[in-house]
Structure 1
Amino acid sequence: MLQAALKAAVCAAVMLSAASAAAAPDKPTAPVAQSQDGASADGRDRHVTIRNRTGWTMLSFYASDASTDDWEEDILGEDVLENRQNVRINIDDGSGACEYDFKAEFTNGEELTRFGVNVCEVSEYIFTR
Protein backbone atom coordinates (compact mmCIF):
# COMPACT_ATOMS: atom_id res chain seq x y z
CA MET A 1 0.00 0.00 0.00
CA LEU A 2 2.89 2.36 0.84
CA GLN A 3 4.54 1.55 -2.49
CA ALA A 4 1.32 2.35 -4.38
CA ALA A 5 1.05 5.68 -2.53
CA LEU A 6 4.70 6.45 -3.35
CA LYS A 7 4.14 5.70 -7.03
CA ALA A 8 1.08 7.95 -7.09
CA ALA A 9 3.06 10.75 -5.43
CA VAL A 10 5.94 10.31 -7.87
CA CYS A 11 3.59 10.40 -10.87
CA ALA A 12 1.92 13.57 -9.60
CA ALA A 13 5.32 15.15 -8.94
CA VAL A 14 6.55 14.25 -12.42
CA MET A 15 3.53 15.88 -14.04
CA LEU A 16 4.02 19.05 -12.01
CA SER A 17 7.78 19.07 -12.65
CA ALA A 18 7.38 18.44 -16.37
CA ALA A 19 5.02 21.40 -16.63
CA SER A 20 7.57 23.56 -14.79
CA ALA A 21 10.38 22.29 -17.02
CA ALA A 22 8.41 23.22 -20.13
CA ALA A 23 8.11 26.77 -18.90
CA ALA A 24 11.84 27.05 -18.05
CA PRO A 25 13.67 24.03 -19.51
CA ASP A 26 17.18 24.93 -18.31
CA LYS A 27 16.25 25.86 -14.74
CA PRO A 28 15.94 23.18 -12.06
CA THR A 29 12.45 22.51 -10.79
CA ALA A 30 11.36 22.49 -7.16
CA PRO A 31 12.02 19.30 -5.19
CA VAL A 32 9.20 16.91 -4.49
CA ALA A 33 8.95 15.78 -0.89
CA GLN A 34 8.14 12.17 -0.14
CA SER A 35 7.19 12.62 3.49
CA GLN A 36 5.97 15.56 5.52
CA ASP A 37 9.51 16.59 6.46
CA GLY A 38 10.88 15.99 2.93
CA ALA A 39 13.19 13.13 3.89
CA SER A 40 13.00 9.43 3.16
CA ALA A 41 12.55 6.93 6.00
CA ASP A 42 16.34 6.52 6.29
CA GLY A 43 17.07 10.25 5.89
CA ARG A 44 18.86 9.87 2.54
CA ASP A 45 17.97 12.17 -0.33
CA ARG A 46 16.95 10.24 -3.45
CA HIS A 47 15.76 13.22 -5.50
CA VAL A 48 17.36 13.23 -8.95
CA THR A 49 16.95 15.78 -11.72
CA ILE A 50 16.71 13.95 -15.04
CA ARG A 51 18.07 16.09 -17.87
CA ASN A 52 17.23 15.13 -21.45
CA ARG A 53 20.10 16.18 -23.72
CA THR A 54 19.67 13.54 -26.40
CA GLY A 55 18.11 15.63 -29.17
CA TRP A 56 15.02 13.39 -28.93
CA THR A 57 11.76 13.56 -26.97
CA MET A 58 11.66 11.12 -24.04
CA LEU A 59 8.36 9.20 -24.03
CA SER A 60 8.91 7.13 -20.90
CA PHE A 61 11.31 6.87 -17.99
CA TYR A 62 11.74 3.95 -15.62
CA ALA A 63 13.78 3.70 -12.41
CA SER A 64 13.96 0.30 -10.73
CA ASP A 65 15.96 -1.03 -7.82
CA ALA A 66 19.13 -2.50 -9.39
CA SER A 67 18.66 -5.75 -7.44
CA THR A 68 15.47 -6.58 -9.39
CA ASP A 69 15.02 -7.80 -12.95
CA ASP A 70 11.73 -5.98 -13.50
CA TRP A 71 11.08 -2.39 -14.56
CA GLU A 72 8.62 -0.44 -12.45
CA GLU A 73 5.89 1.62 -14.11
CA ASP A 74 6.66 4.58 -16.37
CA ILE A 75 7.33 7.57 -14.11
CA LEU A 76 6.46 10.10 -16.81
CA GLY A 77 3.01 8.57 -17.28
CA GLU A 78 1.20 10.50 -20.01
CA ASP A 79 3.79 13.31 -19.98
CA VAL A 80 6.93 13.51 -22.11
CA LEU A 81 10.31 15.13 -21.55
CA GLU A 82 11.34 17.18 -24.55
CA ASN A 83 14.99 17.60 -25.49
CA ARG A 84 16.68 20.14 -23.17
CA GLN A 85 13.93 19.78 -20.54
CA ASN A 86 14.52 18.62 -16.97
CA VAL A 87 12.37 16.91 -14.40
CA ARG A 88 13.20 16.47 -10.70
CA ILE A 89 11.81 13.28 -9.23
CA ASN A 90 12.01 11.33 -6.01
CA ILE A 91 13.38 7.89 -6.82
CA ASP A 92 12.75 6.59 -3.26
CA ASP A 93 10.51 3.52 -3.40
CA GLY A 94 10.67 2.82 0.33
CA SER A 95 13.06 -0.14 -0.06
CA GLY A 96 16.14 1.66 1.28
CA ALA A 97 18.03 0.96 -1.95
CA CYS A 98 20.46 3.50 -3.42
CA GLU A 99 21.45 1.68 -6.62
CA TYR A 100 18.86 2.00 -9.41
CA ASP A 101 18.74 1.17 -13.09
CA PHE A 102 17.31 3.82 -15.42
CA LYS A 103 15.64 3.23 -18.76
CA ALA A 104 14.36 5.90 -21.14
CA GLU A 105 12.40 5.39 -24.35
CA PHE A 106 12.27 8.03 -27.09
CA THR A 107 9.98 9.06 -29.94
CA ASN A 108 12.40 7.76 -32.57
CA GLY A 109 12.33 4.23 -31.11
CA GLU A 110 15.68 4.53 -29.33
CA GLU A 111 16.01 3.13 -25.82
CA LEU A 112 18.80 4.10 -23.43
CA THR A 113 19.48 2.04 -20.31
CA ARG A 114 21.87 2.96 -17.52
CA PHE A 115 22.72 0.49 -14.76
CA GLY A 116 23.73 1.03 -11.14
CA VAL A 117 23.05 4.74 -10.73
CA ASN A 118 23.56 5.63 -7.06
CA VAL A 119 20.64 7.98 -6.38
CA CYS A 120 21.89 8.59 -2.82
CA GLU A 121 25.04 10.23 -4.21
CA VAL A 122 23.92 12.00 -7.41
CA SER A 123 21.48 14.90 -7.60
CA GLU A 124 21.20 14.90 -11.39
CA TYR A 125 21.48 12.48 -14.25
CA ILE A 126 22.00 13.60 -17.84
CA PHE A 127 20.74 11.42 -20.69
CA THR A 128 22.91 11.92 -23.77
CA ARG A 129 23.38 9.78 -26.85
Structure 2
Amino acid sequence: MSIQSVLAETEAVTFTLTNGTERVLEAFYAAPPSSDDWEEDILGVDVLLPGESAEITIDDGREDCKYDFKGRLRGTEDGTVGEGELIQSAVQVCDGGTYTYFPK
Protein backbone atom coordinates (compact mmCIF):
# COMPACT_ATOMS: atom_id res chain seq x y z
CA MET A 1 0.00 0.00 0.00
CA SER A 2 1.38 3.41 -0.91
CA ILE A 3 1.67 6.36 1.48
CA GLN A 4 -0.87 8.23 -0.62
CA SER A 5 -3.37 5.37 -0.15
CA VAL A 6 -2.88 5.42 3.61
CA LEU A 7 -3.37 9.19 3.73
CA ALA A 8 -6.53 8.93 1.66
CA GLU A 9 -7.94 6.39 4.09
CA THR A 10 -7.57 8.70 7.09
CA GLU A 11 -8.98 11.87 5.54
CA ALA A 12 -12.28 13.34 6.67
CA VAL A 13 -15.44 11.79 5.25
CA THR A 14 -17.87 14.24 3.66
CA PHE A 15 -21.30 13.29 2.33
CA THR A 16 -24.72 14.82 1.80
CA LEU A 17 -27.36 13.83 4.34
CA THR A 18 -30.96 14.00 3.12
CA ASN A 19 -33.93 13.72 5.46
CA GLY A 20 -36.11 11.14 3.72
CA THR A 21 -38.66 11.00 6.53
CA GLU A 22 -41.91 12.92 6.83
CA ARG A 23 -40.77 14.45 10.14
CA VAL A 24 -38.19 17.00 11.25
CA LEU A 25 -34.76 15.46 11.90
CA GLU A 26 -33.68 17.42 14.96
CA ALA A 27 -30.48 15.55 15.89
CA PHE A 28 -28.07 13.26 14.02
CA TYR A 29 -25.30 11.19 15.58
CA ALA A 30 -22.55 8.95 14.18
CA ALA A 31 -20.40 6.30 15.83
CA PRO A 32 -18.09 3.54 14.65
CA PRO A 33 -19.97 0.21 14.58
CA SER A 34 -17.65 -1.10 17.31
CA SER A 35 -18.59 1.70 19.72
CA ASP A 36 -21.42 1.93 22.24
CA ASP A 37 -20.98 5.71 22.59
CA TRP A 38 -22.59 8.26 20.28
CA GLU A 39 -20.60 11.39 19.53
CA GLU A 40 -22.13 14.87 19.83
CA ASP A 41 -25.07 15.93 17.65
CA ILE A 42 -23.65 16.60 14.17
CA LEU A 43 -26.48 19.01 13.29
CA GLY A 44 -25.81 21.16 16.36
CA VAL A 45 -28.54 23.80 16.60
CA ASP A 46 -29.76 23.10 13.05
CA VAL A 47 -32.55 20.75 12.00
CA LEU A 48 -33.40 19.12 8.67
CA LEU A 49 -36.97 19.46 7.49
CA PRO A 50 -38.47 16.61 5.43
CA GLY A 51 -36.69 16.52 2.06
CA GLU A 52 -33.92 18.91 3.10
CA SER A 53 -30.21 18.10 2.76
CA ALA A 54 -27.01 19.17 4.49
CA GLU A 55 -23.34 18.47 3.90
CA ILE A 56 -21.89 16.39 6.75
CA THR A 57 -18.18 16.03 7.52
CA ILE A 58 -16.85 13.43 9.95
CA ASP A 59 -13.18 13.96 10.75
CA ASP A 60 -12.33 11.34 13.35
CA GLY A 61 -9.12 9.92 11.85
CA ARG A 62 -10.55 6.45 11.33
CA GLU A 63 -9.22 4.32 8.49
CA ASP A 64 -12.63 3.28 7.21
CA CYS A 65 -15.89 5.14 6.69
CA LYS A 66 -18.50 2.73 8.00
CA TYR A 67 -20.70 4.23 10.72
CA ASP A 68 -23.80 3.60 12.75
CA PHE A 69 -26.18 6.56 12.51
CA LYS A 70 -28.85 7.63 14.98
CA GLY A 71 -31.37 10.32 14.25
CA ARG A 72 -33.86 11.91 16.60
CA LEU A 73 -37.12 12.75 14.88
CA ARG A 74 -39.45 15.44 16.19
CA GLY A 75 -43.04 14.48 16.93
CA THR A 76 -45.72 15.65 14.53
CA GLU A 77 -47.40 18.99 15.16
CA ASP A 78 -50.81 17.38 15.57
CA GLY A 79 -49.44 15.04 18.24
CA THR A 80 -50.39 11.83 16.41
CA VAL A 81 -46.75 10.68 16.36
CA GLY A 82 -44.36 11.35 19.24
CA GLU A 83 -40.63 12.01 19.18
CA GLY A 84 -38.58 8.98 18.22
CA GLU A 85 -35.12 7.71 17.40
CA LEU A 86 -34.07 5.68 14.41
CA ILE A 87 -30.75 3.79 14.28
CA GLN A 88 -29.19 2.56 11.05
CA SER A 89 -26.15 0.31 11.38
CA ALA A 90 -22.95 -0.19 9.38
CA VAL A 91 -23.62 2.49 6.77
CA GLN A 92 -20.79 2.97 4.26
CA VAL A 93 -20.31 6.65 3.32
CA CYS A 94 -16.88 6.52 1.66
CA ASP A 95 -17.95 7.66 -1.77
CA GLY A 96 -18.90 11.19 -0.73
CA GLY A 97 -22.33 10.78 -2.28
CA THR A 98 -25.75 11.26 -0.77
CA TYR A 99 -27.07 9.28 2.18
CA THR A 100 -30.85 9.41 2.62
CA TYR A 101 -32.03 8.91 6.18
CA PHE A 102 -35.38 7.11 6.17
CA PRO A 103 -37.31 4.48 8.12
CA LYS A 104 -36.51 0.95 6.98
TM-score range, shorter chain: 0.7 to 0.9
SS at match of 2:63: coil
SS at match of 1:43: helix
- 2:16 maps to what in 1? 49
What is the root-mean-square deviation in Å for CA atoms of aligned residues? Answer: 1.7
- Equivalent AA in structure 1 for residue 8 of structure 2: G
| Identity, % of aligned positions | 39
SS at match of 2:8: coil
CA drift at 1:90: 1.2
Q: Is the 8 A contact 1:58 1:107 kept in 2?
A: yes
Q: TM-score, normalised by structure 2?
A: 0.76
- 2:50 maps to what in 1? 83
Moved over 3 A (4+): none
Instruction: Decide which of 68, 72, 85 is 1:111's aligned counterpart.
Output: 85
In terms of fraction of residues, the more helix-rich structure is 1
CA drift at 1:91: 2.0
SS at match of 2:34: coil
- 1:28 maps to what in 2? none
Separation (CA, whole Å) in 2 of partners of 1:77 and 1:98:
21
**Which consecutive unaligned segments of at least 5 residues does structure 2 have?**
1-5, 76-82
In terms of fraction of residues, the more strand-rich structure is 2
CA drift at 1:122: 5.6
CA spacing shift, 1:113–1:79, aligned 2, 3 Å: same
**Which consecutive unaligned segments of at least 5 residues does structure 1 have?**
1-40
- 1:24 maps to what in 2? none
Q: TM-score, normalised by structure 1?
A: 0.62
